[in-house]
Copies of this chain bind each other. A is one copy, B any other.
Amino acid sequence: MTRYEQLADDIEAAVQRGVFGPGERILSVRRASQQHGVSIKTVLHAYALLESRGVIESRPQSGYFVKARGAAAGRNPGAGASAAGAPRPRRPSVPKPPAPASVDVSRLVLSTLRSIGAQDAVPLGSPYPDPALFPWQRINQYANAIARRHASWNLIDDLPPGNPELIRQIARRYAENGAGVDPDEIVVTVGATEAINLSLQAVAKPGDTVAVESPTYYAMLHAIERLGMRAIEVPTHPHTGIDLDALERVLARQSVAACMVMPNFQNPLGFRMPDPHKARLVSIAEAHDLPVIENDVYQELYFGETRPSTLKQFDTRGLVLHCASFSKSLSASYRIGWALPGRYRAQVEKLKFLNTLTTPSVPQVALADYLRHDGYDRHLRRVRRFYRQQARLMRAMVERFFPAGTRASEPQGGYVLWVELPPRVDSMRLYQAALAQGITIGPGYMFSMRNEYHHHIRLNYSYPWTAQTEAALRTLGELVAKMA
């Protein structure tokens, strides 16, 4: 193969992969000659060849452009290549979920999320709230105003612990909710995911054992898995949270480096841990000098009159590492979370610096401005009311469409329902059968390393109720009945 044929093949391959899309300009002859280290003549030959193949076209005074989609459709683009000029699909294809026997929780979660991203799926399996509920336009108006107000932005101003104004607004929000915190304790992170990861790394090391709820929010399991630690699952009551007697027995029996819990509107159970239980959990932690990572991302999504208390409020010795974010209440795609790491603050701040350096600036400042100037409370009141109604509706629909032997949780906040199906139903098979009909669910396998919830599913009720949702619930109920 000559030099120019090789070059033409390389460019055609790039077009086929969608690197250069239909109608886009490719490199000028001079630039291509420089970049590929070949003569101008070689590039001209290669471009002529590509023109003759219908891959590109030259436009006088403008340069060379990839031909519009379909123009080269007549040509067979070689084995394994996609149609010439076709852009990459907007959404990734849905991977086949792993078989129940060998569940890798994080891969299962990622593949579930991808299936939700796939077109037309009814997103009952989503862990995220309906993004249409976020005040996206208003937050972005603040972002735009910030961008116009400043000629440039210096990363250094937002080094860990984070943008000072956002930190102040977060502290203010806690104060408004009757839970004063020290603003100097706050470390801003990329979502609560990073806050939880850093907190765990600050208090435990590879090989350590970490106590978690069962069922637990899988991000907790991921954090433990990723850092080479081991999870011990503690039974968790659907109304009162982690079984404190069971936890004490575990602590008496073995060395535990940390405990991770979600005391408010736990995902998936939806309970609100009663204050006496919270107080006792903190006492137990103090007695064992046990760090407790408190995942409180649903703190603002309560159905009652006031925000629930936090473990942090009961903590007098700095053992609670409180993690939260705006991702459930204000903006998921901005990825702003934070940690209040108690006595581990210095380690968490340093780990934040090492993990991602800083959190993006404009999102931090835009949320600070929104919190300061806009109607966060009004927005939340609306969302809480909506979720409360939706929770009732989803429970009613499960009762209506699912067979006897089905039991649903009674969420006190948040936007997910936990459903126990008749024991013979395998949620992984149900997941696959539902997916084939364009419906996603959260299979129970995701919430434990021990396959304890194979006949449980999690359903998201944050999306407005439509005929399609109702049809999806009906279909699910029929599938369950067949498997039961």
Contact = CB atoms under 8 A, between A and B. Distances in A.
Contacts of A35: 176-178, 306-307
B172 A20 contact: yes
A137 interface: yes
Contacts of A392: none
Contact of A171 (B19, B160, B176): B19
A26 B172 CA distance: 9
Given A117-B156, A159-B110, A176-B31, A168 B131 contact: no
Chain B CB within 10 A, most for which of A26, A168, A307: A168
Interface stretch (A231-239, A246-254, A256-264, A359-367): A359-367
Contact of A19 (B183, B197, B306): B183
Nearest to A356: B190
Interface stretch (A46-54, A69-77, A147-155): A147-155
A17 B183 contact: yes
A137 to B, nearest CB: 7
Interface string A176-207: 11101011100000110110010001000110
Chain B CB within 10 A, most for which of A110, A177, A356, A361: A356
A334 to B, nearest CB: 6
Given A153-B333, A355-B355, 9 more contacts: A17-B171, A18-B183, A19-B175, A26-B176, A88-B183, A190-B190, A201-B226, A206-B206, A333-B360
A393 interface: no
A335 B360 CA distance: 6
Interface string A128-142: 100110101100110
A21 interface: yes
A37 interface: yes
Nearest to A207: B206
A24 B353 CA distance: 32
18 contacts: A14-B171, A14-B180, A19-B180, A26-B176, A35-B178, A89-B164, A91-B164, A136-B150, A137-B148, A140-B143, A143-B362, A154-B333, A155-B333, A190-B190, A191-B357, A193-B354, A356-B356, A362-B363
Nearest to A191: B357
A228 to B, nearest CB: 7
A354 B197 contact: yes
A194 B356 contact: yes
A116 interface: yes
Contacts of A91: 157, 164
Nearest to A32: B178
A429 interface: no
Contacts of A39: none
A140 B136 contact: no
A305 interface: yes
Contacts of A134: 152
A137 B152 CA distance: 7
Interface in A9-26: 10-11, 13-14, 17-21, 24, 26
